[in-house]
Amino acid sequence: MSHSSLSAVRSDTPPSVSCPQCGRSVAWTAESTYRPFCSRRCRMIDLGDWLDERHQIPGEPAMPDGDDEDADA
């Protein structure tokens, strides 16, 4: 591929992603402090969802519930 072909593929526009919370377009640059989120608000809403266990990673729990261990004591 020639140098002129490479320059045609490149773009001065930074890549962008959609905010996982609201869907707004976010430029993937160092200036986008909250990337992939568009704002602190969206980032905090997402964190709250994880803390309230509305989001989960599928699979077996890494640690079993402690209820069974307490019954032996």
Per-residue pLDDT of 4-54, as tens digits, reads 444 455 678 899 999 999 999 999 999 999 999 999 999 999 999 999 999
pLDDT at residue number 66: 65
Contact yes or no for 45/54 (Cβ under 8 A): no
> How many Cβ atoms are within 10 Å of 66's Cβ, its own excluded?
8
How confident is residue 57, by pLDDT bands cut at 50, 70 and 90? confident
Could you tell me the pTM of the whole model?
0.62
At 4, list the tokens: 């002129």
At 49, list the tokens: 């969802």
First-to-last alpha carbon distance for the chain, in angstroms, is 71
